[in-house]
Amino acid sequence: MAHRILVLGGDGYLGWPTALAFSARGDRVAILDNLAKRTWEAELDVAPLLPIGSLDERLSAWRHISGRDIEPIVGDLTDCDFVYDSLRTFRPDTIIHYGEQPSAPYSMIDARHAAFTQANNVIGTLNLLFAMRDVSPESHLVKLGTMGEYGTPDVDIEEGYLTVRHNGRSHTFLYPKTPGSMYHLSKVHDSHNIHFATRIWGLRATDLNQGVVYGIETDQTALDPRLATSFHYDEIFGTALNRFCVQAVAGTPITVYGRGGQTRGYLNLRDTVACVTLASDTPAEPGALRIFNQFTETFTVLELAERVCDAALHLGMPAQLEHHPNPRVEAEEHYYNPRHSALLELGLQPHLLSEELIDTMLDRIVAHRERIRLASLTMDIRWAPARVTD
């Protein structure tokens, strides 16, 4: 049976392929987006590697190729009336929420960017929760969180919850959070607000604490160049593996922050779409907040850089590594053992990182080499002010 799927932030790197995937299988899909990501790109003079048309052009291309329509809804989640009207009109079965400022470096540029990130992300999600309560209480919210909410505690990371035994009594809490940026902190606020909305109002939600995503295409975006998703490689919006691959193709050193011992969870773009689909197809119960840790493998930054370097050298590219001072405030080496079994139990079949996959990414990047902006690879955004010395 076809479902009504509302994809918030459906013009973005993750949202666009997600919307295409649901449309391809016959669901009725609408994209709600304020197109702000394009404005942020212009502000910072960065651009996706592959050419991206306007939202109308992308939707027209999808209609021509697939014979299916995706409905555009252009507006801002921080406009409460707009959010209410959108839910009342579309009546979604599932709301997939990518519609936030997605970059930790962007949130750390200065006070203005930090305040914008917090206000945009937290208020937008609050408006959504109130609109769900009042006009769409049966909808299932699938919200993109981040593994960065947890930080890197020196104990195992559970999937969202932790049972604490204290003075002979026990209680299960949301897992304690130690986020590493103002962006990640906004996601923590979201998680607490969603937890409140499920407990107090009986809403249903799944919070997907996602690792770092890499990849350049999915089955649908590969059908035609006009369907490409916004693959970023710059220091603001690009993720580590994507950026390393572009650096290798550009012939610049692959830059590793510090010693490169920082360990994180990673997953392929195709697996992001698969995880969101699994969460949507098996909704949470009313009054419940499920939390899934959404990643497939863990790597240190140095391990990723070395894999890209090796693959590039095999393809005849003169790749090399360089260690740069870390602009972030984070542990160089740390314990990291997060659980991530729930999505596997739902049926996720991971696309693990392989040399063949890196080779494919490098080949695609080579085809668009002329669009690489070298200046955007290192933009010197620092988590802490430089120390003044005599």
**Are 214 and 269 within 8 A, CB to CB?**
yes
> Which residues make beta-bridge pairs with 28?
4
* Amino acid at the residue 57: E
Alpha-carbon dihedral sign for residues 8, 267, 160, 327: negative
Report how far Cα 288 is from the mean position of its chain's Cα atoms. Answer: 23
Q: Where are the domains of the chain?
A: 4-376
> Which residues make beta-bridge pairs with 95?
6, 141
CA distance 136 to 90: 10
pLDDT of amino acid 380? 86
Residue 63: helix, strand or coil by DSSP?
helix
- Residue 131, both tokens: 């609109």
For 191, residues 6+ apart whose C-beta sits below 8 A from its C-beta are 145, 149, 174, 177, 207, 291
Catalytic residue, candidates 84, 183, 233, 336:
183
Order of all β-strands in the sheet with 297-300? 212-214, 263-268, 297-300
pLDDT of amino acid 29? 98
CA distance 207 to 146: 9
Residue whose entry in the numeric block shows the structure tokens 């206000």: 119
**Are 94 and 283 within 8 A, CB to CB?**
yes
pLDDT of amino acid 338? 98
* Amino acid at the residue 82: F
> Which residues make beta-bridge pairs with 8?
32, 97
- Residue 47, both tokens: 């651009």
pLDDT in tens, the chain (390 residues): 789 999 999 999 999 999 999 999 999 999 999 999 999 999 999 999 999 999 999 999 999 999 999 999 999 999 999 999 999 999 999 999 999 999 999 999 999 999 999 999 999 999 999 999 999 999 999 999 999 999 999 999 999 999 999 999 999 999 999 999 999 999 999 999 999 999 999 999 999 999 999 999 999 999 999 999 999 999 999 999 999 999 999 999 999 999 999 999 999 999 999 999 999 999 999 999 999 999 999 999 999 999 999 999 999 999 999 999 999 999 999 999 999 999 999 999 999 999 999 999 999 999 999 999 999 998 889 999 866 555
| 146 catalytic per annotation | yes
Annotate 343-353 with b (16+ C-beta within 10 A) or e (fewer): beeeebebeeb
pLDDT of amino acid 387? 64
| 239 catalytic per annotation | no
pLDDT of amino acid 1? 74
Residue 171: helix, strand or coil by DSSP?
strand
Q: Report which of 69, 61, 171, 193 is spatially closest to residue 122, judged by C-alpha positions.
A: 193
Catalytic residue, candidates 146, 152, 218, 296:
146
pLDDT of amino acid 379? 85
Report the predicted TM-score, pTM, of the whole model to 2 decimal places. Answer: 0.97
Helices 301-314 and 355-366, interaxial angle, to 10°? 70
CATH fold for the domain made of 4-376: Rossmann fold (3.40.50)
Catalytic residue, candidates 18, 143, 187, 206:
187
